[in-house]
Amino acid sequence: MTKSWTLFGSKLEKPRPNLTMSAVAVLFAAQTFVPGEGAYPIYMCVLAWASAAWITWFGIKKKALLALLSLPISLLWLNPLLGGTWFDAVGIEYLLTHAALALVWAGCAYTFLATEKY
């Protein structure tokens, strides 16, 4: 019998949050309050895409629907590379995109990316 897809993946008895993804979520949440001076850092775009790829891969493996949000959210980080101005100054787009990424990444870290505590 195959396991069906759920919002958060399979439940663990004693979950331990994924510290790597928690740190990435905190980094993006902290970036929300950093005033934009000049061009948005490319390493933050790469971090958004790499972490989204990792989340999606594990999410598909664990059949968690929450992981499917990571790709569309990470694609918003194409804006600075395509000449967009969303991340040039702290505005509503800047705040909402960083908050959305931080919340989804933290949700993933505490649900299907968590490991069993022994």
Q: Token pair of 103, please?
A: 């919340």
Would residue 2 count as lying in a domain?
no
Q: What is the pLDDT of residues 23-64, one digit of tens each?
A: 999 999 998 777 667 778 889 999 999 999 999 999 999 899
Would residue 4 count as lying in a domain?
no
Question: pTM, whole model, 2 decimals?
Answer: 0.83
Q: What is the pLDDT of residues 72-91, one digit of tens each?
A: 999 999 988 898 888 887 78
pLDDT at residue number 41: 86
User: Could you give phi then psi for residue 23, rounded to 5 degrees?
Assistant: -65, -40
Flag the least confident range among 10-19, 24-33, 69-78, 106-115: 10-19
Would residue 44 count as lying in a domain?
yes
Q: Token pair of 107, please?
A: 């949700």
- pLDDT bracket for residue 112 (50, 70, 90): confident
Domain hosting residue 53, numbered range: 15-116
User: ∠54-60-64 over CA atoms, to 5°?
Assistant: 100
CA dist 5 → 19, 47, 112, 118 (Å): 24, 27, 12, 26
Would residue 9 count as lying in a domain?
no
Would residue 8 count as lying in a domain?
no
Number of separate domains in the chain: 1
